[in-house]
Amino acid sequence: MSVQSFTSYLLLEKNYSKHTVNAYEKDIQSFIDFCDKELKLESINNVEYNIIRNWIVTLVNTGISNRSVNRKIASLKAYYKFLQRVGSININPLAKHKALKTSKKIEVPFSEEEMQRILLQLPFEDDFEGSRDKLIIELLYTTGIRRSELINLRTNSVDLNQRSMKVLGKRNKERIVPLLLPTIDLFEAYFRYRKELENITHDEYIFLTISGNKIYETLVYRIIKGYFSKVSSKVKRSPHILRHTFATHLLNKGADLNSVKELLGHSSLASTQVYTHNSIAELKKVHSSAHPRGKKL
């Protein structure tokens, strides 16, 4: 059974995105290259754990992070799990492997004040790119959609009359996301400028470049980083931080965790709970200031 069979399984049966499948394939190829170069093995299908352990040591010695090593191992483990599932091997050599320890990533959301400065005080150019950029920031903050979901939004995804939007998430799972009135206004302004574009090559997609092509990931990242560098000193300024900010601000205002889960398109509450630490910090402040025992005598 080849790696290609595994990637086909991920694409066709698991509905993983091409980007995710390419990452799996790249990680597995890294192990294949190691076995070919160091051990002259023709196949990785029947290796023992000690060989994988040597690869892990080699990876660590190159200086890459434990988080990156764990990702590679997770890809390889999934491959062996697939081989075991189809009967090509009897034992998954990584079945008892324990992930390397990693430090928790601290992602600090933007404050409400920073969001107000961006959307209410910061001047945007009164043209196609200005209206597009402001709508992108507004949409990421008020809906919590992923960057990839925003890029792939189609013109028939949005119903301004119903104030709703269809979002195609991970594994082709579709969800309906409500739109706020200010977001509707920004959509209408952007669509007016969009109609004036010449030579549109990807008309089915909502967000385009000035040349009429479908917008791309690095441009979205540059838009967010560029505007937020004007109002925030935070080290990390990315589209994902806006998704983090969306969830945190909702939870801080008392939103139900299950509701936030549905809005984010998470398949389990465990994924949503990573956003709760900031709301808990806010609750601690309220608790300390409101409870009689919290006040200093």
Give per-residue pLDDT as tens, 209-221.
Answer: 999 999 999 999 9
Residue 181's domain comprises 112-287
Angle at 7 between CA 53 and CA 66, to 5 degrees: 35
pLDDT in tens, 120-160: 999 999 999 999 999 999 999 999 999 999 999 999 999 99
pLDDT above 60: residue 191: yes
Q: In this structure, which amino acid lies at residue 283?
A: L
> Residues 157, 242: one domain?
yes
How many Å apart are CA 82 and CA 10, to the nearest integer?
10
In a domain, 197, yes or no: yes
Query: In this structure, is residue 104 part of a structural domain?
Result: no
Q: Does the residue 102 lie in any domain?
A: no
> Is 191 a domain residue?
yes
User: Do 200 and 245 fall within a single domain?
Assistant: yes
Catalytic residue from among 243, 244, 249, 261: 243
Mean residue pLDDT of the chain comes to 87
Calculate mean pLDDT across residues 187-205: 94
Q: Which of 37-46, 81-90, 209-218, 222-231 has the lowest mean pLDDT?
A: 37-46
Same domain, 202 and 123: yes
On whether residue 237 sits in a domain, the answer given is yes
Residue 202 annotated in active site: no
Let me know if residue 94 belongs to a domain: no
243 is catalytic: yes
Q: What pLDDT score was predicted for residue 297?
A: 43
- Number of compact structural domains in the chain: 2
CATH number at residue 160: 1.10.443.10
Are residues 160 and 265 both part of a single domain?
yes
| Mean predicted confidence (pLDDT) in 279-284 | 55
- Measured distance CA(295)–CA(258) in Å, rounded: 33
Helix 239-252, helix 217-228: angle, nearest 10: 60
Shared-domain flag, residues 42 and 173: no
Last residue of one domain, picked from the residues 46, 68, 85: 85
Would you call 236 a catalytic residue per the annotation?
Answer: no
CB-count exposure of residue 72 (10 Å: 0-12, 13-18, 19+): buried
Question: Could you tell me the pLDDT band of residue 275, with boundaries at 50, 70 and 90?
Answer: low
Q: Does residue 43 sit in the same domain as residue 168?
A: no
Which of 170, 214, 236, 277 is catalytic? The answer is: 170
- Catalytic annotation on 80? no
Identify the active-site residue in 9, 80, 190, 275: 275
Residue 279 confidence (pLDDT) above 60: no
| Catalytic residue check, 221 | no
85 classed as catalytic:
no
Residues 119, 79 share a domain: no
**Is 278 part of a structural domain of the chain?**
yes
* Residue 272: band (very low, low, confident or very high) from pLDDT cuts 50, 70, 90: confident
What's the CA gap between 169 and 167, in Å, rounded? 6
Instruction: With a cut of 80, say whether residue 235 has pLDDT above it.
Output: no
Going by DSSP bridges, is the β-strand pair 174-178/164-168 parallel, antiparallel, or unpaired? antiparallel
Catalytic entry in 77, 134, 146, 194: 146
